[in-house]
Structure 1
Amino acid sequence: MVKIEAVVRPGVLEDIKDGLSKYGIHGMTVAQVMGCGLQKGRKEVYRGTEYSINLLPKVKIEIVAADKDADGVVEVIIKAARTGEIGDGKIFITKIENAIRIRTGEKGDAAV
């Protein structure tokens, strides 16, 4: 099993959810986060004073999937999130040792 974490623009969340649903992935965790990278924020003017906004709103999506599904899940996220501009986001993939469904006690891939 792998854990796929994607940090993306908030506007692409619905497209990612739709794509993952069509692919057969229905479980995910979504959190609103703030971050910066190459985008480095932006400058705004408020009441005549210019100030810098360094952290931009992003969405973090976490999915645990079977090893065989990992590449497909990543492709779905890339297809939905890519605009070709700085700030599209990042995807991180880590190995998961085990998963347990609390309700039934199922372990491994069956718990996902």
Structure 2
Amino acid sequence: MFKVEIITRPEKLNILKDALAQKGIKGMTVSNVMGAGNQKGKTEVYRGSEMTIDLLPKIRVEIIAKETLVNNIIDIAKKTLNTGNTGDGKILLYPLENVIRIRTEQEGIDAI
């Protein structure tokens, strides 16, 4: 089992969610986060003064999946999120030892 974490632009969420749902992947957790990488923030005008905003809004999509689905999730994310511009995001993979569903106390693959 793996946790796939995708950090990307907020406007890409619906595109990613729809593409994953078409492949039968519906379970995910989505969080609003702030961050900056190579793009180093952006400048905006506020009350006539130019200001640098260091952190940009991003979303974090977390998916727990069987090892057999991980490559499908990665391929879908790369195809739907790539614009070729700085700030498209990152895909992070974490191996999981165990997953426990609280309500039923199922463990492992059954808990997904």
Cα deviations by residue, 1:25-56 (Å, 9 ceiling, x for unpaired): 11110001100001111112222321101100
CA distance in 1, matches of 2:23, 2:110: 18
Residues 1:98 and 2:98 are matched in the alignment? yes
Unaligned residue ranges in structure 1 (runs of 5+): none
* Distance in 2 (alpha carbons) for counterparts of 1:9 and 1:95: 25
How do residues 3-22 of structure 1 correspond to structure 2 at under 5 angstroms? 3-22=3-22
Q: Runs ≥4 in structure 1, deviation > 6 angstroms?
A: none
> Which residue of the partner structure matches residue 89 of structure 1?
89
Provide the rounded CA distance (Å) in 1 between the counterparts of 2:48 and 2:69.
52
Aligned to 1:25: 25
TM-score by length of 1: 0.96
User: 1:68 Cα deviation (Å)?
Assistant: 0.6
C-alpha separation between the residues in 2 aligned to 1:18 and 1:44? 32
Identity %: 47
Count of residues in correspondence between the two structures:
112
| Distance in 2 (alpha carbons) for counterparts of 1:69 and 1:96 | 14
RMSD, aligned α-carbons: 0.9
TM-score (norm 2): 0.96
Equivalent in the alignment of 1:48: 48
